[in-house]
Amino acid sequence: MSGLLLMDYGLTGKNLKFAAIESMFWHFSFNKQNPLAEELVTGRVETFLTHFFQGMRTGVGENISDDELAEFVRLFSRPQVLHAGFELYRTETQDEADNAKFQETPLTIPVRMLTQAGLAETVLPPLQDAAPHATSADVPGAGHFLLHEAPDRVVAEINAFYPHPTA
C-alpha cells in the first residue's frame, strides 16, 4: 500500500504561511540566521539544546534524559549535523513556495498526520490543501517528540496506516 504519513508539523503552502507560525517558537527565527546561528552555537551545543528542549515543552510528554541529551550534544557537535539542523528552517520560504505549486495537483494517495496532543485539527486543513482526503490524529500524552514520548502509539499508527500483508 502506498501513502504518506507525516508527524507533527503543519504543511506550509497554499493557505498556511510560514510567517503565521514562525513566531510560535523562538528557534524558528533563530535557526534561520546564517551564519550567525552556527557561530553562536558552536562550542555551546549543550546550552543550546538544553534551552531548545525546554522551550519545546508543552506540558505533556516526558523530558529527555541526561543520557539522551548527551547523545544529541555528541551528534550536533559535528559541524555538518549542526548546519543541516539549521538548514531545515532556512528552506521554509522555498518549501512554502514549492508546496503551493505542488498543491495545484492534489495528492490522491492516503495521507495521515500524527500530532502532539491537541494539534490534529489545527494542522489538518492546510494538509487537506495538498491531500483533500487526509486525516489526522493526536497522540494523547505526547508533546512535539512523538517517537520519544509515545513510541508504542506511533508504531501502532504506522502499522495501521501501512498494514502488513497477510501470508
pLDDT in tens, the chain (167 residues): 689 999 988 899 998 898 888 887 888 899 999 999 999 999 999 999 998 888 776 555 567 889 999 999 999 999 999 999 999 999 999 999 999 999 999 999 999 999 988 888 889 999 999 999 999 999 988 888 888 889 999 999 999 999 887 65
DSSP H or E run through 66? helix 66-76
CA distance 148 to 120: 18
Integer-rounded Cα radius of gyration of the chain: 17
**For the whole prediction, is pTM greater than 0.95?**
no
Cβ neighbors of 147 (< 8 A, separation 6 or more) are: 7, 154
CA distance 162 to 42: 40
